[in-house]
Structure formats: C-alpha cells, structure tokens
Amino acid sequence: MSQLTHINENNQPGMVDVSPKDVTRRTATAQSIVEVGAEVMSLLTDGEIQSKKGPVFHTAIIAGTMAAKKTSDLIPFCHPLPLHSCKFNIEASSGTEITITCTCVTTGKTGIEMEALAGVNGAALTLYDMCKAVNKAMVIRETKLLEKTGGKSGDYAAS
C-alpha cells in the first residue's frame, strides 16, 4: 500500500506541498445517485420538480456550485483552487432515481476531484432538503469519482 500523502514521516497530518508540481489543466467528474421514491418522482414535470421552496434541480445546481467553490473550507487539507468551470447534469431515470453529475475544471498544481465530489454532494443534499416533506426515506448513494484528467498521476476513469 502506498504512503498516504497527507501523513508525514512522524505520522502527523498536514497539507501536501504542491509547490514543486507543474501547473496543468485538470478536470474531474463525479456522480451521485439519489433514490427519491415514487412520491417525489410523481412531482417531476418537464425535467424539473417544483416545490414550495422553488425549482429543485435549479436550486441543487446553484448549491452544488457553491459547495464546489467552498471545498477547501470544508475539507481540511484541500488546497484552495480557482474553479474555472463547474457544470452539472441532473437526470431522472424511468424508475425512482435521480442521477447528478458535476464536472469541474481548473489549471493548477493539484487535482480538482474533491471539488467535483463536494459539488455533487451539495446538490444531492439540497435535493434531499427540498423534497424531504414528500419523502424522508430518500437515500443518497453511490457518490463516486467517474473520471479525472491532468496531473502527475495521469488520467483516471472508473470502470
């Protein structure tokens, strides 16, 4: 097993020193699936759910973007990164699942995977919050990194 990058030789946590790294274009796409149930899916009209709190998907995208921008405030050892792009796709399946994807882009010395993961989680939590009056049994599941590009470790795609 490789050495954890956030633990030093004295077994103490800390930020990784990225100063020697090259600046490269980096992208990451993450996904979260939310099992919302039939009750919530019955509210879907023209690709959106309208709630008393407003349009659910649109609000989730805004919240997800805010979460991606604040990742270094949420995760202790994340470096603050300029977020050049943060795009979302929210799709309802024919069943009772809603799939959220977030793709983030930057140029920097460290990866942007955590921003994409924070983005989908922020969007999923917002979807849950806005629909919980209809179904408190919703499940946010299968949050994962789908792919990343750039950096020393190269490209990654989930299998």
Q: How confident is the model over 83-105, as pLDDT tens digits?
A: 999 999 999 987 999 999 999 99
For 14, the token pair is: 């800390």
CB 105 within 8 A of CB 26: yes
pLDDT confidence of residue 2 = 52
pTM above 0.85, yes or no: yes
Second-level CATH architecture of 24-147: 2-Layer Sandwich (3.30)
| Residue numbering of the annotated binding site for substrate | 77-79, 114-115
| Residue numbering of the annotated binding site | 77-79, 114-115
Please state, in angstroms and rounded to a whole number, the distance separating the CA atoms of residues 116 and 132: 24
Catalytic residue annotation: 129
Q: Using pLDDT thresholds of 50, 70 and 90, give the confidence band for residue 53.
A: confident
